[in-house]
Structure 1
């Protein structure tokens, strides 16, 4: 048998074998009545234990694909297509073949560990509970009367919320648009998904930053896009790399996070932003700007102007959300672009969910229009600055000989390079989890190895020092196991 199970896969070997044989039966390569190889023979051919084959055949038997005849072995069920006996779907096979790809197994592992254990969380890219405006939301719910329709909302989203977003973008981000060019989405992730599904085709080439936002990568792969990386250095990406990729691969779209980039924290200079737009305009390359962090700035000397605020030709699709400035659980995001694009995305969103729920839209509109928004934003920045300062100070005190980093002027992430080549970031994660702290290994979100991402937005302030001490203990444990 030429096929062999993948022993590095997360799918159990017996299940891989059962799936493979089931495919051959379904495709007619093993017709009804075919005698399958004996357990001993197949185990020898696949270099596995006989017990593994027995388990695989048990799965096939439970699914009605095979029957066992005493003294004759295992046969493909002759009665299979007449369905005279009930059959259980091979759900593992269905899960494996779905076109929408799952998150990487290690991300699933980190998420499960954080949810199921009392870990200090430097991994999750959201705000801590002490940063969310609970008091303002309680005030809105108790003092403001709800008069909205409970039917389906406008395909673009609630008009009052869109008008508040228009005002907010003009006041805080110098972006001029109308309510017709705004689509309310279920967070920035849905906006990204809609753009990919509606504006690109399988096989199209796109460019994205390296390192980059982790959850966009499975979406790119699921859509069958050809992806090309734009290296991000200490000053962000080099716009000439976009030009190079366009000339070589005819990229159809560029995905950027130019302000306090995730995970590096870099800010693209005004000169580089203008060059990106010049290349976009010269060659007609759409730019998708993901902007979660431009309002989370710790310095008045940093230019946080967005690409969209500089775009006078409609080349930029702008994405942002409430997740990093208020509450991720509201699931309020938005995308701004040319009217025809927004109408196309809105049509697709309506097919998915018939529009966003009115209750979070109502709360978001009230919050954006309240006097509390500006003061809460200022308070958020002060608290995040405090978290960043505590984190960087403790790292310099405890781990200055183990890692280095560039202190970001905004955002919620710290991108750290491990100084020792002997430390494997994945093994470090496992020892750290055992010590009660989680982070994101750099090579999960980058082509580079030897980096880790520490997110200070999610961890409670009083736990930051303890988290770094646990990380330090994880490093010490890893070194001890290697010596």
Structure 2
């Protein structure tokens, strides 16, 4: 994001005015565009509000912007007194369409993390940069020559990557599959998007966990799906709740995250997995298993996946490298019956003609590297260490004020605040003190829950972040 240069001889307000004038002249801000409020722009640019006021006054004086009571500041429709042209009403367009915008809390979090890159970020589920396998990827790029065709690749995904995943998934997750049953995607969200758009229809009823990461994704509402809740207990959902929902609403699909569930961190018990699969088969309901966290298990073998137990082809399995290696590679995968893979591959080809061959090639080399297992071991140790620092900080500064359970894997702590709070006010007070996190209501929870991720913040910042939250809690 552009920011004024404090070392420049040109006054800050003039730099801001010039920057906005350029954006207006380039058409980035067409006539009628609403500009950020003085307070918000000052926050984004890290300047005093008076500086933004002066910049806006400069633009008003030149006729580029105008102030409208109740509407704020907007780009003038009659620039420099010239009669307006028939510019499209872009605001009307952006408020249309069927794909809904992100939830307000998520938009606020994104805005803060973009404008304040040094804020302590406990909202993102991304790994911190020191946990990426940069050294492994760099050595692979130096040691191995890229000789692949740079044209469009198979929209189902680079064959050698799919072949490698067959071995990796069997070895690490106990999943048996073939190359023809795997679709390479840009990550779990693209997999979910393809499923909701291609396998379901508006008005279909689906069941998701409560709370659930899926509540933070407007794609379900955009697809016109009816969403019903499966409350998450200490050992996961109650499979018998599915029977009741099916009888009342004819549920067509289940979306579950059985291992280190996001956001609660719970693991579905083995007895419930067996019961769940039997019910799904009896009722003929597909299960979408989102499994980004299994390989983060701190000790021992990862929890069993539903897909590894699936003998009836009823589970659509989703995984990715984002939470265990490198989110920037944008590599995920889906395992499904070949008829489903064929349908989604066709849709995928209409969207983007497939992923970059370069990122798929790098991912295939990474998965086949002898060092990848070393990376996973180091990742688990690092995540456990960061989790324990967060647990200790919470016990030290928030003892008795929040309740939580530390899971044996995953990236998050799910905390219940033991007092009545306003989610919005608490988040804003935390942001003022240099911390951002995700309020629990984003995941469908009632107010008074928060999700702290210990993956994104650096180890040295975790205690400071929890202290900032404690201070914010004291003010409301």
TM norm structure 1: 0.81
DSSP 3-state at the match of 2:381 = helix
DSSP 3-state at the match of 2:450 = strand
Tell me which residue corresponds to 1:278.
278
Contact 2:123 2:436 survives alignment (8 Å) = yes
Tell me which residue corresponds to 1:197.
197
Contact 2:215 2:442 survives alignment (8 Å) = no
Over 3 Å counting, the alpha-carbon distance change for 1:458 and 1:51 in structure 2 is: closer
Partners of 2:261 and 2:128 lie apart in 1 by: 20
DSSP 3-state at the match of 2:95 = helix
1:159 correspondence with 2:159 = yes
Contact 1:270 1:303 survives alignment (8 Å) = no
DSSP 3-state at the match of 2:213 = coil
Query: 1:147 offset after TM fit, Å?
Result: 1.2
Aligned length: 409
Partners of 2:203 and 2:263 lie apart in 1 by: 27
Deviation per CA, 1:121-176: give whole Å up to 9, x if none.
Answer: 11001111111000001001111111111111112100100001111110000000
Query: 1:401 offset after TM fit, Å?
Result: 2.2
Tell me which residue corresponds to 2:213.
213
Structure 1 runs of 4+ with >4 Å offset? 52-56
Query: 1:52 offset after TM fit, Å?
Result: 4.3
Partners of 2:429 and 2:441 lie apart in 1 by: 17
Over 3 Å counting, the alpha-carbon distance change for 1:477 and 1:54 in structure 2 is: closer
> Which structure has the greater CA radius of gyration?
1
DSSP 3-state at the match of 1:443 = helix
DSSP 3-state at the match of 1:448 = coil
Contact 1:62 1:88 survives alignment (8 Å) = no
Partners of 1:246 and 1:469 lie apart in 2 by: 45
Contact 1:103 1:215 survives alignment (8 Å) = no
Deviation per CA, 1:226-247: give whole Å up to 9, x if none.
Answer: 1111111221111111111111
Query: 1:477 offset after TM fit, Å?
Result: 2.6
Partners of 2:68 and 2:308 lie apart in 1 by: 65
Over 3 Å counting, the alpha-carbon distance change for 1:315 and 1:105 in structure 2 is: same
Partners of 1:52 and 1:191 lie apart in 2 by: 42
Tell me which residue corresponds to 1:178.
178
Superposition RMSD on alpha carbons, in Å?
2.2
Contact 1:403 1:416 survives alignment (8 Å) = yes
**Which moved further from structure 2: 385-394 or 464-473?**
464-473
Query: 1:53 offset after TM fit, Å?
Result: 8.8
Tell me which residue corresponds to 1:437.
435
Query: 1:299 offset after TM fit, Å?
Result: 2.9
DSSP 3-state at the match of 1:88 = coil
TM norm structure 2: 0.82
Tell me which residue corresponds to 2:21.
none
Partners of 1:55 and 1:129 lie apart in 2 by: 39
What does 1:95-174 align with in structure 2 at a 5 Å threshold?
Answer: 95-117=94-116, 118-174=118-174
DSSP 3-state at the match of 2:318 = strand
Query: 1:85 offset after TM fit, Å?
Result: 7.9
DSSP 3-state at the match of 1:233 = coil
Over 3 Å counting, the alpha-carbon distance change for 1:156 and 1:279 in structure 2 is: same
Over 3 Å counting, the alpha-carbon distance change for 1:364 and 1:401 in structure 2 is: same
DSSP 3-state at the match of 2:209 = strand
**Structure 1 unaligned regions, length at least 5:** 1-13, 17-48, 64-83, 479-483
DSSP 3-state at the match of 1:417 = strand
Given candidates 457, 460, 465, the residue that maps to 1:459 is: 457
Query: 1:214 offset after TM fit, Å?
Result: 4.8
DSSP 3-state at the match of 1:462 = helix
